[in-house]
């Protein structure tokens, strides 16, 4: 079934204060929007980001990524409708609708909601109300409200695409959420277990709460990689995916890209998934002369499959020659492309070993790398 997530991000975040709309403010080192969007990557086929026409930098930035962008409206329901319209030609069967302001949403909540659509026309996470409920007038309690059968509604709310698109088109407006729109059209909505951590950033103090939740749930992994290749005949070396002219070549079973091998091993190391030789044995003739980006792509894919996001990578090449400095930026950009990361998440640097040891004598090149992976 073709799936999509519509992430509504056109609100102005008035109640959160702070001047800048809450989705563009920083939470635990990254913008709220980045956390939220990343949670849906790999779980759905398409992501639609609904943006305000006022947020010009976001249009430019996210337009360069693999997302569908569309303009939101002055109310949430209008923004959702715009997201649904943007998906019209994509043959979507299941669609999730999520607030950008819920960055702590877990993979479990997303997959449960999506999974419930196998047997239900609509499903959404809800939390049974456990606190007593009062009615009040300014600072006085005026009564107690029966909490039986009451739930706090969360997102993502999931629907069969055709049904929710028709329901929104027919709705007069003024809905609290998409479940209300669906129910008004006679669609039955199943409740999947919500998550107390799936808070919506609404007021200023919610930023601290969300940061605490993220800190508690975050699994940060570090891995290191080390590799050496000796020089042999040749007129160039391949380092971090870039061909560098040199009076020697590097010897190896593959293309001997010592830098990329160290980075690949650092990722496998962080995942506790062995090393490059285990995944691509040097005894296997199919890897003879292979481009090392095959290995790096595999490690990156494995990280994604295991639910990790690569936060950053740092790679150091150790050699007297060739000089790395003039090529370091191209190496960084090439690895960013292969790993689908931003350039500022990758560092490629070099050092000599002061003419000491095998690298100092020009017998080969060594490389060290560190990778930081995060699961939240």
Ligand X SMILES: C[C@](O)(CO)[C@H](O)COP(=O)(O)O
Ligand Y SMILES: Nc1ccn([C@@H]2O[C@H](COP(=O)(O)OP(=O)(O)OP(=O)(O)O)[C@@H](O)[C@H]2O)c(=O)n1
| Contact residues: ligand Y, CB under 6 A | 8-16, 23, 50, 72-76, 79, 99-101, 200, 202
Residue 12 interacts with, from ligand X, ligand Y, none (CB under 5-8 Å by kind): ligand Y
Q: Is 108 annotated as a binding residue?
A: no
Which one, 7 or 92, has the nearer CB to ligand Y? 7
For the record, the structure tokens of 146 come out as: 């029966």
Residue 81 near ligand X by CB under 6 A? no
- For the bound state, the minimum distance from the C-beta of residue 216 to ligand Y, rounded and expressed in Å, comes to 23
Nearest CA among 14, 2, 155, 10 for reference residue 69: 10
- For the bound state, the minimum distance from the C-beta of residue 250 to ligand X, rounded and expressed in Å, comes to 55
329, 371 contact by CB (below 8 A)? no
Residue 99 near ligand X by CB under 6 A? yes
Which one, 165 or 335, has the nearer CB to ligand Y? 165
Nearest CA among 73, 110, 108, 107 for reference residue 94: 110
Residue 168 near ligand X by CB under 6 A? no
Residue 14 interacts with, from ligand Y, ligand X, none (CB under 5-8 Å by kind): ligand Y
Residue 177 interacts with, from ligand X, ligand Y, none (CB under 5-8 Å by kind): ligand X
List, as one string, the DSSP characters of 343-376.
Answer: GGGEEEEEE--TT-HHHHTTSEEEEEEEEEEEE-
Q: Is 183 annotated as a binding residue?
A: no
Q: Is 367 annotated as a binding residue?
A: no
274, 290 contact by CB (below 8 A)? no
Q: Is 351 annotated as a binding residue?
A: yes
Nearest CA among 107, 124, 102, 133 for reference residue 206: 102
Q: Is 298 annotated as a binding residue?
A: no
Residues paired with 125 in a beta bridge? 192
Q: Is 211 annotated as a binding residue?
A: no
Which one, 82 or 155, has the nearer CB to ligand X? 155
Which one, 44 or 153, has the nearer CB to ligand X? 153
Strand locations in the chain (E): 3-9, 26-27, 30-31, 46-51, 68-71, 94-99, 122-128, 133-137, 140-145, 151-153, 157-160, 190-193, 219-232, 236-239, 242-245, 249-250, 309-318, 346-351, 364-375
- For the bound state, the minimum distance from the C-beta of residue 235 to ligand Y, rounded and expressed in Å, comes to 56
Q: Is 361 annotated as a binding residue?
A: yes
Of 34, 177, 206, 333, the one binding ligand X (CB under 6 A) is 177
Residue 290, SS3 per DSSP: coil
Which one, 200 or 332, has the nearer CB to ligand X? 200
How far, in Å, CA of 100 to CA of 22, rounded? 9
Residue 51 interacts with, from ligand X, ligand Y, none (CB under 5-8 Å by kind): none
Residue 9 interacts with, from ligand X, ligand Y, none (CB under 5-8 Å by kind): ligand Y
Residue whose C-beta lies closest to ligand X: 177
- For the bound state, the minimum distance from the C-beta of residue 359 to ligand Y, rounded and expressed in Å, comes to 52
Phi-psi region of 59 (alpha: psi -120 to 50; beta: other; left: phi over 0): alpha
CA-CA-CA-CA torsion for 240, 243, 246, 252, nearest 10 degrees? 60
Which one, 155 or 370, has the nearer CB to ligand X? 155
Q: Is 106 annotated as a binding residue?
A: no
348, 317 contact by CB (below 8 A)? yes
How far, in Å, CA of 283 to CA of 242, rounded? 25
Which one, 133 or 176, has the nearer CB to ligand X? 176
Instruction: List interacting residues with ligand X (CB under 6 A).
Output: 76, 99, 153-155, 176-177, 200, 202
Known binding-site residues equal 227-229, 253-254, 261, 275-277, 351-354, 358, 361
């Amino acid at each position: 079934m073709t799936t999509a997530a519509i992430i509504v991000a056109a609100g102005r975040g008035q109640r959160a204060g702070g001047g800048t709309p809450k989705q563009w403010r920083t939470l635990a080192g990254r913008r709220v929007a980045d956390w939220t969007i990343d949670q849906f990557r790999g779980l759905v086929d398409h992501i639609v980001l609904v943006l305000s026409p006022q947020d010009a930098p976001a249009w430019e930035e996210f337009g360069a990524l693999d997302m569908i962008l569309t303009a939101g409206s002055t109310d949430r329901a209008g923004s959702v409708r715009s997201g649904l319209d943007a998906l019209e030609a994509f043959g979507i069967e299941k669609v999730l609708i999520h607030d950008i302001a819920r960055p702590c949403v877990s993979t479990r909540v997303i997959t449960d909601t999506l999974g419930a659509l196998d047997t239900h026309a609509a499903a959404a996470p809800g939390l049974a109300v456990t606190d007593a409920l009062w009615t009040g007038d300014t600072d006085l309690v005026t009564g107690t409200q029966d909490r039986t059968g009451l739930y706090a509604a969360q997102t993502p709310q999931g629907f069969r695409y055709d049904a929710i698109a028709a329901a929104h088109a027919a709705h007069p407006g003024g809905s609290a959420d998409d479940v209300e729109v669906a129910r008004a059209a006679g669609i039955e909505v199943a409740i999947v277990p919500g998550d107390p951590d799936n808070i919506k950033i609404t007021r200023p103090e919610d930023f601290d709460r969300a940061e605490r939740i993220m800190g508690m749930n975050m699994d940060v992994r570090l891995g290191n990689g080390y590799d050496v290749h000796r020089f042999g005949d040749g007129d160039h070396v391949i380092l971090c995916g870039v061909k560098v002219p040199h009076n020697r070549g590097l010897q190896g079973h593959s293309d001997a890209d010592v830098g990329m091998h160290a980075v690949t091993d650092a990722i496998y190391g962080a995942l506790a998934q062995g090393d490059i030789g285990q995944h691509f044995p040097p005894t296997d003739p199919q890897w003879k002369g292979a481009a090392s980006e095959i290995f790096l792509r595999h490690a990156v894919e494995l990280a994604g499959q295991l639910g990790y996001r690569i936060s950053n990578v740092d790679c150091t090449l150790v050699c007297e020659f060739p000089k790395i400095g003039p090529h370091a930026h191209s190496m960084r950009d090439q690895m960013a492309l292969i790993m689908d990361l931003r350039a500022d998440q990758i560092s490629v640097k070099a050092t000599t070993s002061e003419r000491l040891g095998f690298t100092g004598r020009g017998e080969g090149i060594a490389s060290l790398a560190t990778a930081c992976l995060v699961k939240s």
